[in-house]
Structures are given as structure tokens and as C-alpha cells.
Amino acid sequence: LRDPTYTDRLDALRAHPGFAPDSKRQTVLFIGSSRTLNGVDTGAAEAELSRRLGRPVAAFNFGTPGGGPVTNALYLRRLLADGVKVGAAVVEV
């Protein structure tokens, strides 16, 4: 089966410098529906979390149009199985 939505987002995540294996940043992954996709400003989240935590934070929005709880769970499991390392995940429920 092909899932271009997942693979395109995974490619973008892997290209994000904050999620590189040698990055020293704390990472935060947002997973959810189009509400997450359109409603989470990762630049603002990075700046605010970096300020509050006192260390650099990298954030990535893995929101999916039309996604729901099953898609969120499936994508999180697939990301972890694909070797993506995240410090924290914010999952829309």
C-alpha cells in the first residue's frame, strides 16, 4: 500500500535540521488532523518552548488532513518504527 501523505511528511521531517540524528535540540512532534496542521505554528512553539525550557527546541507539525484518532496512532507508531526520535509528542485527541 502507498501512503504519499505519510511519506511526504516523513521526508520533510527527516530534512528538518532539528530532527537530525546529531542534533542537540529537544524535539516536539505535533500529530493530529487538519486542525493541528492548520492551527499549530511550529515556529512560535519552538521560540516559546526554547525560552521556557532554556534550551533549543525543534518542533514539527505532522498534522494530516482528514486524520483522526486511528490515523494519529498509526502515524505515531510508523514514525517510531521508522526510527524517528522525538523528545515529546503532542497528539490531538
4-42: burial string, b at 16+ Cβ within 10 Å, e else: eebeebbeebeeeebbeeeeebbbbbbbbbeebbeebeb
The confidence score (pLDDT) of residue 2 equals 84
Q: What is the pLDDT of residues 5-47, one digit of tens each?
A: 999 999 999 999 999 988 899 999 999 999 999 999 999 999 9
Q: What is the pLDDT of residues 75-93, one digit of tens each?
A: 999 999 999 989 999 999 8
